[in-house]
Structure 1
Amino acid sequence: MRIISGKFKGRRLSAPKNLPVRPTTDMAKESLFNIINNLYYFDGITVLDLFAGTGNISYEFASRGTQDIYAVDAHFACVKYINQTNKDLNTNINTFKSDVYKFLEKTPLKADVIFADPPYDFEEGQFLKIADIIFDRQILNEDGVLIIEHSKHTDLSQHKKHSYDKRYGGNVFSFFENATEEDNIYID
């Protein structure tokens, strides 16, 4: 795994082989960050990285200057690896060892970008539950975006806050926003 842009551009990170992870590919990650780069100034946002795994996405945000990054994963070794890498890179990633659903039910955090990369074998309802909790609890800031990574065999477009999908090989990023066309009311 490598960091593709920012002050740590080109830096290779080697996660322990025993971690239960599937890091986002460099090609997909580069495309994702090109989209995010057109939406936000990285140094002015708060990021919540759910099912953080190796911290791959969190390091990309940190490399681009994001200061408020929160990484959540239930696996102790993943959190330990993120903490060690955070220390080595001297970044400001805050980690939480927690079940993501329990974390979302209790967190007081609000974020501009929420990225979730749950296991691809989740059932559709498990993916949608992430979006439901985030929007019900208003964890996403008004102009924020929720991005859920999943396989091409999963379709999340029926969620009322779904905006669009971007596909990269077998990976799909589903984007969700607070305002959708259905939510907009036009007055003459």
Structure 2
Amino acid sequence: MRIISGKYKGRRITAPKQLPVRPTTDMAKEALFNILNNQYYFDDISVLDLFSGTGNISYEFASRGTEQITAVDANYGCIKFINETAENFDMSIITIKSDVYKFLEKSKQKHDIIFADPPYGFEIEEFSKIPKLVFENQLLQDDGLLIVEHSKHTKLDELDHFSYSKSYGGNMFSFFEINI
């Protein structure tokens, strides 16, 4: 994986093979950030990266100037890798080793962008818990976005607060907003 833009543009990051991850492809990541680039000043926002895995999305935000990034993953190896990479690049990424659902139930901090990249094999009920907890617990700023990455075979358009989705190859991003 590589960082697409910003301070660390072009830098390659190689995650240990034993991590249980499926990083967002460079093509999909570039398309996603082209969308976000038109809506946000990255140095002014707070980002929550759920099911963060390798930290791929967190690094991209940090490279573009975001300083308030929290990465949550249940896997110790993933959290350790993110911490080591963030330290090597001098990125201010806070990591939390936690079950994402438990974290969302307890969290009180609002974010401008919440990005979730759960396992593609999740059932619709597992996917639906993400926006449910985010909106019930009011974890987004008023103009914030929840973005859920999933397979193009999974449809999330029936969930509350769904706004739109974009497909890139086998990846799909579904966007959720407070006021739709």
TM-score, normalised with respect to structure 2: 0.99
CA shift digits 1:62-114 (9 cap, x unpaired):
00000100000000000000000010000100000000000000012110000
1:30-179 matches, within 5 Å, as 30-179=30-179
Give unmatched runs, 5+ long, in structure 2. none
Q: Look up the match of 1:184.
A: none
Q: Look up the match of 1:185.
A: none
Aligned residues: 180
CA shift digits 1:145-171 (9 cap, x unpaired):
000000011100001200000000110
- How far apart, in 1, do the equivalents of 2:178 and 2:155 lie? 19
- How far apart, in 2, do the equivalents of 1:17 and 1:26 lie? 18
Residue 139 of structure 1: CA displacement?
0.3
CA contact (8 A) 2:163 2:175 kept: yes
Residue 20 of structure 1: CA displacement?
0.2
**SS in structure 1 opposite 2:164?**
strand
TM-score, normalised with respect to structure 1: 0.95
Give unmatched runs, 5+ long, in structure 1. 181-188
RMSD of aligned alpha carbons: 0.4
- How far apart, in 2, do the equivalents of 1:143 and 1:159 lie? 19
Over the matched positions of the two proteins, sequence identity in percent amounts to: 66
- How far apart, in 1, do the equivalents of 2:40 and 2:178 lie? 16
- How far apart, in 2, do the equivalents of 1:139 and 1:176 lie? 12
CA contact (8 A) 2:149 2:171 kept: yes
- How far apart, in 2, do the equivalents of 1:18 and 1:109 lie? 32
Structure with higher Rg: it is 1
Amino acid in structure 2 at the alignment position of 1:126: E
